[in-house]
Amino acid sequence: MNTDSEKQDRFEALARAYGADLYRFGLWLCGDEALARDLVQETFLRAWRALDSLKDEGAAKSWLITILRREWARTFERKTPGFTNIEALELEDADEPAPEERLEREQLRGAMLSLAPRYREPLLLQVLFGYSCEEIASMLGIGKGAVMTQLFRAREQVKEKLQRDGLTGNLNERF
Domain boundaries, the chain: 4-78, 97-174
pLDDT in tens, 53-67: 888 888 888 899 999
pLDDT in tens, 85-121: 767 766 665 666 677 777 777 888 888 888 998 999 9
Instruction: Tell me if 115 sits within 8 A of 154, measured CB to CB.
Output: yes
pLDDT of residue 172: 44
pTM attached to this predicted model: 0.56
For the domain spanning 97-174, the CATH number is 1.10.10.10
The correct answer on CATH 3.90.960.10 for the domain covering 4-78 is no
pLDDT of residue 155: 93
Instruction: Return the closest-CA partner of residue 71 out of 59, 81, 85.
Output: 81
